[in-house]
């Protein structure tokens, strides 16, 4: 089995964890959150990125698990940029942890405890876990035909300050600028076929960062709730891009410190930018 195929199949195996009875039952709430190690990539400076996602086994419940004894990395720093808000079901390539060039045979472990169960994901530089664009493309459900030649990740930036403040129920306006190299590029006909298929099968709500949303235009920006104790309502969560600029608003249900994330997606590669919002009562 090739390294690439192993990585794809190994990630898929995580979806099958749990008992046979669990696999045949849809739970809206009460289930655990399974951290997932997606693989690693090498940076130009010789360091590495360990890539993580998760499987929230609930179909409705979106738990908040604060960084600390219930949500931490080890050894070393407990906070590595992991989410504290978990969307339902499988979420791929949510964040990366940079490790030094001499990381070697060490492991980095992400532990999450929720609904009475503790689960871990072990990140390592084992050769079988090396990820390239083709692996990402396949694991994001965009086919197994391989990577696109010379594709570079999209660019995204936020207008204004990286930290904002507001009150519960008062919307914050967020504007982004996004651009891409045009690879893979728009495919309106493919988007139409996929839309027809979703119409027959029902909406795809399993992944909050669905690459198929970018197929028609070649580039999409999605706002996500990465950290923070309450619910966040984005209007819209995927703003239309006029001249590369998209505007949305975010409203928060509880006081606290939130991180909201704008993710630019070209259907294969993604880039994100974060905004911290301090919400008062």
SS3 per residue for the chain:
CCHHHHHHHHHHHHHHCCCHHHHCCCCCCCCCEEEEEEEEEECCCCCEEEEEEEEECCCCCCCECCCECCEEEECCCCCCCCCCECCCEEEEEEEEEEECCCCCCCCEEEEEEECCEEEEEEECCCHHHECCHHHHHHHCCCCCCCCCCCCCCCEEEECCCCEEEEECCCCEEEEEEEECCCCCCCCHHHHHHHHHHHHHHCCCCCCCCCHHHHCCCCCEEEEEEEECCCCEEEECCCCCCECCEEEEEEEECCCEEEEEEEEEECCCCEEEEEEEEEEEC
| Same domain as 104, residue 221 | no
With a threshold of 0.95, does the pTM exceed it?
no
Shared-domain flag, residues 167 and 267: yes
- Tell me the average pLDDT of the chain: 87
Q: Are the beta carbons of 78 and 68 closer than 8 angstroms?
A: yes
| Structural domains counted in the chain | 2
Same domain? 91 vs 171: no
Q: Say yes or no: 132 and 159 in one domain.
A: no
- What pLDDT digit, counting tens, does each position of 126-169 carry? 999 999 888 888 888 787 777 788 899 999 999 999 999 999 99
CATH code of the domain containing 181: 2.60.40.3450
Q: Which of 139, 174, 192 is the last residue of a domain?
A: 139
Domain end, chosen from 79, 105, 139, is at 139
pLDDT band at 247 (very low <50, low <70, confident <90, very high): very high
116 and 180 together in one domain: no
Same domain assignment for residues 14 and 125: yes
Q: Is 100 exposed, middle or buried (0-12, 13-18, 19+ CB in 10 A)?
A: exposed
- Does residue 36 lie in a domain region? yes
Q: Is 54 within the bounds of a domain?
A: yes
Q: Which residue segment(s) compose the domain that 195 sits in?
A: 155-280
Residue among 226, 263, 259, 268 nearest 246 (CA): 263
Query: Which residue, 111, 139, 167, sits at the end of a domain?
Result: 139
For residue 149, tell me if it sits in a domain.
no
- Are 126 and 171 found together in one domain? no
Name 277's bridge partners: 164, 258
Indicate whether 215 and 189 sit together in one domain: yes
Classify residue 77: in a domain, yes or no: yes
Examine the domain organization and report whether 174 and 211 are in the same domain. Answer: yes
pLDDT of amino acid 224: 96
- Note whether 100 and 224 are same-domain residues: no
**Does some domain include residue 144?**
no
Which of 199, 221, 197 lies closest to 211 in space, CA to CA? 221
pLDDT in tens, 202-238: 344 457 777 777 888 899 999 999 999 999 999 999 9
pLDDT band at residue 192 under the 50/70/90 scheme: low
Whether 240 and 180 map to the same domain: the answer is: yes
Q: Does 145 map to a domain?
A: no
């Amino acid at each position: 089995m090739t390294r690439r195929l192993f990585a794809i199949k190994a990630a898929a195996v995580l979806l099958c964890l749990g008992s046979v009875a669990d696999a045949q039952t849809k739970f809206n709430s009460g289930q655990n959150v399974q951290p997932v190690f997606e693989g690693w990539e090498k940076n130009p400076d010789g360091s590495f990125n360990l890539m993580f996602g998760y499987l929230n086994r609930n179909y409705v419940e979106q738990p908040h698990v604060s960084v600390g004894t219930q949500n931490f990395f080890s050894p070393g720093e407990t906070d590595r940029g992991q989410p504290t808000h978990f969307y339902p079901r499988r979420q791929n390539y949510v964040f990366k942890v940079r490790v030094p060039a001499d990381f070697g045979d060490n492991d980095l472990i992400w532990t999450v405890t929720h609904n009475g169960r503790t689960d871990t994901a072990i990140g390592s530089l084992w050769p079988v876990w090396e990820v390239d664009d083709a692996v990402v493309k396949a694991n994001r459900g965009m086919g197994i035909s391989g990577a696109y030649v010379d594709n570079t990740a999209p660019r995204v930036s936020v207008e204004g300050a990286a930290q904002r403040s507001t009150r519960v129920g008062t919307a914050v306006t967020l504007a982004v600028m996004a651009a891409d190299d045009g690879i893979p590029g728009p495919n309106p006909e493919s988007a139409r076929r996929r839309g027809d298929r979703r119409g027959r099968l029902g909406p795809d709500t399993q992944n909050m960062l669905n690459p198929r949303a970018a197929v028609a235009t070649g580039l999409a920006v999605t706002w996500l709730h990465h950290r923070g104790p309450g619910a966040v309502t984005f209007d819209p969560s995927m703003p239309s891009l006029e001249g590369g600029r998209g505007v949305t608003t975010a409203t928060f249900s509880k006081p606290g410190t939130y991180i909201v994330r704008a993710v630019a997606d070209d259907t294969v590669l993604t880039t994100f930018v974060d905004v911290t919002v301090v919400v008062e009562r």
